[in-house]
A and B are shown apart, each in its own frame.
Chain A
Amino acid sequence: MVSDRFDLGGGEPIITLRDVAKSYWRETLEIPVLQGIDLEIPAGAYIALMGPSGSGKTTLLNLIAGIDRPTGGSLEVCGYELNNLDDDELAAWRNAHVGFIFQNYNLVPVLNAFENVELPLLLTGAGRGERRDRVEQALTLVNLTDRMRNYPRQLSGGQEQRVAIARAVVTDPDLLVADEPTGALDAKNAEEVLALMERLNAELGKTIVMVTHDPKAAHHAKRQIHLEKGVLDRTVEVNR
C-alpha cells in the first residue's frame, strides 16, 4: 500500500523532522542533499529508508542519529530538539538514546566481544558488576554468550554483526539506526541479522531506522520510506 502522507501515525512520534535541509559545500558550490523533509516516525516503528545512491538516505539517517547537523529546519528525536544541543550534549544524548549498527560492524579489533559491547557503558557511570550483567544480557539476546571472549578476527561476519547489535542495545536506547546492516553479509547471515532486528522491534519495542538498498532487507521493516533526489518520495507499508 502506498501512503501519500509522511506522518506515519501509530502513536506518539519519537522522531519529528520539520522542513529539514542539508547541503554540502564544495569550495563555493553548494550541493543540496536533502530538502524540505517533513517526517514523523512513531515510537516502536521499524522503518526502511530506501532510494538510489545519492538520494540522501544515509544523510537523513545521520541527521536522525545526531552525528550530523542540518543546514535548515528542526529535528526532535527522543524528546530532544537536536539543534539546541551543543557537541558534548549531543554526544551524551547519542549514548543514552541511540544505538548504531554499521555495514562493516566497526568493532574494535583489539577488544574481545565482551569488551566491545561494554564500550558504550563506560560512559554511563554504571559499576563493574552492573556493566557485566548488562553485557551478558545483550550477548544472550544475540545468542553469543559462548563467544564473549573471542576477538573480532575470531568471529564470522554474521557473529561480528550480532556483537555490534549487542553493543547497540546494551545501553537500552530508544532508537536503533542501521546503515546497510546486511550489506557485508551472505544471505543466511543477513537473514539471521534481520530476524534479530525484527525481534528487537517486536519484543523490546525498539524504534529502528534502517538504510538499505536491498528489497529483501527492506521487506523486514514495517514501513519503507523512499527518497528521490533529496526529497521524500513515498512511503510504503509492508504487508507480510
Chain B
Amino acid sequence: MRWVALIWKSLMRSKRRTLLIVGSLILSVFTVAVLQSLLTTLNSITDNPNSSNRLVVRHKSGLTQMLPRSYETYLRQQSEVEAVCALQWFGGYYQDPRNFFANFASDETTLFQIFREEFGASNITEAQIKDYLRDGAGCIVGESLAKKNGWKVGDVVPLTGTIFPINPRLTIRLIFKSPKPSDENALHFHYKVLEEGVPRMKGLCGSFWVRARRPEDIPRLIERVDRHYANSAYETLTETENAFNLAFVKMLGNIGAIIQGITAAVVVAILIVTGNTMATAIRERTTEISVFRAMGFSSSRVLSLLLAEGVLLVGVGGFLGVLLANVAAGGVRASLGAAMPFFADFSILPSTVLACMTGALAIGLLATFIPAYAATRRPITEGLKAVG
C-alpha cells in the first residue's frame, strides 16, 4: 500500500458523501470559471489593443440617427487622420432569421486600412482586394462564418434585409482570417449597394470609423470634431472604439459587479459546504486518528494525510469543473458565436483555469486545516476514550 492509496481509500470511505461534495465542487468551479470567462470576454470587447488609434464618429442623438457622408471630407482633412471609413450596420440574415450574423455596408476603399490588424492574419493579396473592389456586388466574409455556412470564394450569398428594404445578392470575393475568432463572424459589402438600394440612405451613413496616425492625437481630434459640428443639424459624438463598444456592454448593466457578487457567493457557499463536510468526516474518525497516532504516526504526519485528502477532494472537483467549463465554452462558441460575435472569443483562459484551481485548492486546505488541526491536537487518550 502506498501513501496515496491510503489517502484515496480514506477519502472513499463514504462514497455518497464524497460524490456529493465533488459534485457540488464541480458545479461551483464550473459556475465561477464560466462567469469569470464571460467577464474576461466582455472586458476584451472594450479593451482591444488594436483599437488604440481608432475613433468612431456618430450622431450625438444615437446610432439610429444618420450623419451626412460629406462629413467624411472634413474628417479626412484633419492632419492627424490617416483614413476614414463609412460603415453601416445592415442587420440582414441568410436564409433563416435565426441564421443571424454581423453584416455591414462599408466603404470598401478604406476598410482594409482602418481594420488592418483584424485583416492582418489573412495574408490578403492585392489581387484579392482588387477583385473585391472591382465587383460592386462583391462581399468579403470571415473564415469562421464561411466555414459555418459552407461558403467559398465565388459563392453567391443572398441577404435578407431586416432594417433596410433590400435583399442584396452578394458574391464572395475574399475570405479573411483574423487573430480573434469574433472578427471572423462578419460580412462586409460595398457601401454603394446600400446607397443605391435604399434611396433614403443616399449621402448618409450611421458612423465613420477613423484611424488616427498616433494614439496621442486622439483626445485633440475628438474635441475638435465634436466642436466643429456643435449646434449643426447633425451634431456628432466622437469617441474611441473601446468607449463605443463599452456603450453596448453597459446596456447589460453593471455586469462586472453582478458576476463578482455571484462568484463571491459561490466561493463562500462552497467553503462552508466543504468545511462542514471535512469537519464531519474528521469528527467521525476521532478514534481512528488516535489509533494512528498511538501506532506512531506523528501529529504532523496525520495532519498532512488529512490535508492531502481535502486537497485531493477539491483538486478532483476543481479539475472536473474546469473541464466541464471548457466543454461548455466550446458549445457557446459554436452556438452563439455567429449571432453575438463576442461569444466567438468565449474561452476558459489558462489564467482563469489557474485562478479556479488555486482557489479550489485554497478552499480545500482552509476547509480541512481547522478540523484536522484540532483532531491532531486532541490528546490520544481522549480520542481513544480510554481514561481509566
Q: Is B52 an interface residue (CB 8 A)?
A: no
The interface residues of chain B lying within 8 Å CB-to-CB of A108 are: 288, 291
Q: How far is the CA of A58 from the CA of B381 in the complex (A)?
A: 10
Q: How far is the CA of A86 from the CA of B3 in the complex (A)?
A: 25
- Chain A 90-133 interface residues, beta-carbon cutoff 8 Å to B: 91-96, 100, 102, 106, 108-111, 115, 118-120, 122-123
Q: Is B295 an interface residue (CB 8 A)?
A: yes
Residue of B nearest to A51 (CB): B388
Residue of B nearest to A57 (CB): B388
Q: Is A79 an interface residue (CB 8 A)?
A: no
B303 to chain A, nearest CB (A): 12
Check if A55 sits within 8 Å of B1, measured CB to CB.
no
Q: Is B374 an interface residue (CB 8 A)?
A: no
Check if A68 sits within 8 Å of B379, measured CB to CB.
yes
Q: Is B10 an interface residue (CB 8 A)?
A: yes
Task: Name, among B3, B6, B294, B296, the residue most crowded by chain A CB atoms within 10 Å (CB to CB).
Answer: B296
Interface string of B6-21 (1 = CB under 8 A from A): 1001101100000000
Residue of B nearest to A104 (CB): B287
Q: Is A13 an interface residue (CB 8 A)?
A: no
Q: Is A144 an interface residue (CB 8 A)?
A: no
Chain A: interface residue total (CB-CB under 8 A): 39
Q: How far is the CA of A65 from the CA of B386 in the complex (A)?
A: 13
Check if B388 sits within 8 Å of A58, measured CB to CB.
yes
Checking A24, A33, A100, A211 against B295 with a beta-carbon cut-off of 8 angstroms, the contacting residue is A100
Task: Name, among B10, B288, B292, B298, the residue most crowded by chain A CB atoms within 10 Å (CB to CB).
Answer: B298
Q: How far is the CA of A54 from the CA of B292 in the complex (A)?
A: 26
Check if A122 sits within 8 Å of B6, measured CB to CB.
yes
The interface residues of chain B lying within 8 Å CB-to-CB of A68 are: 379-381
Q: Is B229 an interface residue (CB 8 A)?
A: no
B305 to chain A, nearest CB (A): 10
Q: Is B327 an interface residue (CB 8 A)?
A: no
Check if A94 sits within 8 Å of B388, measured CB to CB.
no
Contacts A110-B10, A122-B1, A122-B6 given; does A58 touch B296 at CB 8 Å: no
Q: How far is the CA of A96 from the CA of B295 in the complex (A)?
A: 9
Q: How far is the CA of A115 from the CA of B8 in the complex (A)?
A: 13
The interface residues of chain A lying within 8 Å CB-to-CB of B291 are: 100, 102, 106, 108
**A contacts, CB < 8 Å to B:** 24, 33, 53-62, 65, 67-68, 87-88, 91-96, 100, 102, 106, 108-111, 115, 118-120, 122-123, 167, 179, 211
Given contacts A58-B388, A68-B379, A110-B13, 12 further A-B contacts (CB under 8 A): A67-B381, A67-B384, A88-B300, A91-B298, A94-B295, A106-B287, A109-B13, A110-B9, A111-B1, A119-B292, A119-B295, A179-B386
